[in-house]
Amino acid sequence: MTPISLEVEVTTSINDVNADGMMIVMVVDDKESLKADALSSKLPAWMKADFLAVAKKRKFVAKPGTCLAFDAPDGTRKTVLCIDGKAGVFEMLTAVRKHIDAAVFDAKVKRLAVDLTHLGAKAEDFADALISAAGAKLYKFPKYKTAKSEKGKESDVDDESEDLSVTFIVGKPRIADVEAATVRGMNATTSGTNLVRWLAKRAGNDLTCKAYVDYLRQLAKDRKWSFKHLDHDQLTKMKAGAFLAVVKGSEHKDYGIIELTYTPKAKSAKHLALVGKGMVFDTGGYSLKPSAYMLGMHGDMAGSAVALAVLNVAHLEQWPVKVTAYLAVADNMIGPKAYKPNDVVTSMKGTTIEIIDTDAEGRMVLADTLHLAAQAKPTLIMDFATLTGACVRAIGTTYSGVFTNREELHGDLIKAGKKSGERVWPFPMDKDFAECLESTVADFKQCREKGGVDHIEASHFLMHFAGEHSPWVHVDLSSIEHAGGLGHVPTTETGFGVRFATTFLRDYFGIKH
């Protein structure tokens, strides 16, 4: 992954900061519109005169979400950003994403000072939002162009990496909280969300099953995680018929379930199992996708990337919980041996499955992977997948859907979505939703033939394999892509899920950070 350079400090006086960019964040009531004179009366001396001169010229009116950025006579880029005092984390992330170019990157600011003294308890949320937005903006996607770099080497990123240092100015009582918030933002966004964006953007002939497995093996070695590759032969011995049905059309037998484990220094009875769908490419198989729907299917492994990124955050923050990620790395290809509609396969659990649609492959590889994870009887199982178009149709691409076998978790899931700024909504899991999966020839149908509410029905299918012993949460990543960016992320590829999951899991396991 392309590294970024982002440094953060927290201090109590702007006089101690050497900066070429200076920002102050002001609270404006959602029903309030302040003209330049009224707002300037609330500004400190270092901003007041410069702001007033520019604001009157531009006829600036302060409302929640508005921003005035300008070059001051002393050569610094100065910015006044107005936010609603009742704004949630999502609104803050969005506001910073929309204005960070004007405040920082368009002016090529390298050292930014941000005055948060007017925000009170909102200072931590805003510090996290700015670090997250800056970290997402600084990241450069992989490119496959042959343009020569200045050193004469081929460049595989879109342009030179930028660097930024940010100093937050806060009141003394808030220093520790703001420092903690920036660390959370750096871990969940810089090392987490960007990791998902990088993996999901890589071309399908670049991030093959073999390349993905090799990357995971090296990462495990670097992080000192345990690594296990359950390959074709091992999965055959384990009778993982659901997984193996999907990969029957693959040319190479380099797929498998990858098991990565982070073990805390102090022995813990708590064990988190993360499960991720890692389809490096999905043609739909014999239920072939139309060409327009096949484009972008190199990103169908994003669920596994989210699970991996959460594991990495646990490692960075040294969570006092054992964490195992089970990543279903596979592809769904056409070929003479590929599985077909009306085939009947036997899963690792022993459940027989009637195949209806070979394009419903995600639930098949996850079935065996979830069953494997459930055998360890973890404290919690959480899986991530770009699973159904039905979830996109049901909730759009600004939220993701969540499903669980413990209805009492609904409130905690919603709360974590709001707290992280990555919003989710739980769907019902009443038993009658599963009636459509009854088969006359097998224990289950893979899915119904047509119609229905596939996001809920697919979750029922998965729930059978997750079992009832452990609480289980399934995240259908309908917002893994959103045109124009979402929250703090400025690109269609959002990397959604890491902030939400880490927030939920920290609270679930009582992890203080």
- Complete DSSP assignment for 169-186: E--GGGHHHHHHHHHHHI
Residue tagged active-site, from 42, 63, 223, 289: 289
Q: If you classify domain 202-508 with CATH, what class do you get?
A: alpha beta
Question: Which of helix, strand or coil describes residue 434?
Answer: helix
Residue tagged active-site, from 363, 419, 423, 506: 363
pLDDT digits (tens, 9 = 90+) for 187-238: 888 889 999 999 999 999 999 999 999 999 999 999 999 999 999 999 999 9
Is residue 213 within 8 Å of 328, Cβ to Cβ? no
pLDDT score of 160: 52
375 or 148: which leads in pLDDT: 375
Least confident piece of the model among 174-188, 269-283, 432-446:
174-188
Please identify which residue in the block is written with the tokens 């708590």: 270
Q: Mark whether 237 is an active-site residue.
A: no
User: What is the percent of the chain where pLDDT is above 90?
Assistant: 88
Q: Reply yes or no on whether the pLDDT at 150 is more than 50.
A: no
Phi, psi of 317 (to 5 degrees): -95, 0
Is residue 499 within 8 Å of 188, Cβ to Cβ? yes
Every domain of the chain and the residues it spans? 5-197, 202-508
Q: Mark whether 322 is an active-site residue.
A: no
Inter-axis angle of helices 410-420 and 498-508, nearest 10: 130
Angle at 234 between CA 462 and CA 236, to 5 degrees: 70
CB atoms under 10 Å from CB of 145, counted, come to 10
Pairing between strand 67-71 and 77-83?
antiparallel
User: What is the percent of the chain where pLDDT is above 70?
Assistant: 97
pLDDT score of 156: 43
**pLDDT (mean) for 244-251:** 97
Pairing between strand 472-476 and 380-385?
parallel
What is the distance between the alpha carbons of residues 159 and 105, in angstroms, rounded to a whole number? 14
Q: If you classify domain 5-197 with CATH, what class do you get?
A: alpha beta
**pLDDT (mean) for 463-470:** 97
Q: CB neighbours of 423 closer than 8 A, spacing ≥ 6?
A: 90, 398, 399, 400, 417, 500
Q: CB neighbours of 296 closer than 8 A, spacing ≥ 6?
A: 481
Closest CA to 464 of 426, 437, 501: 437
Q: Do domains 5-197 and 202-508 have the same CATH topology?
A: no
Closest CA to 331 of 372, 381, 277, 369: 277
pLDDT score of 157: 43
pLDDT digits (tens, 9 = 90+) for 283-319: 999 999 999 999 999 999 999 999 999 999 999 999 9
Whole-Å CA distances, 61 to 66, 115, 118, 385, 406: 8, 20, 19, 44, 48
- Radius of gyration, alpha carbons of the chain: 24
Phi, psi of 126 (to 5 degrees): -70, -40
The pLDDT-based confidence of 337 (bands split at 50, 70, 90) is very high
What mean pLDDT is reported for the chain?
94
pLDDT digits (tens, 9 = 90+) for 40-98: 999 999 999 999 999 999 999 999 999 999 999 999 999 999 999 889 999 999 999 99
Please identify which residue in the block is written with the tokens 């979505």: 417
Quick one: tokens of 108?
Answer: 């090529």
What is the distance between the alpha carbons of residues 448 and 409, in angstroms, rounded to a whole number? 28
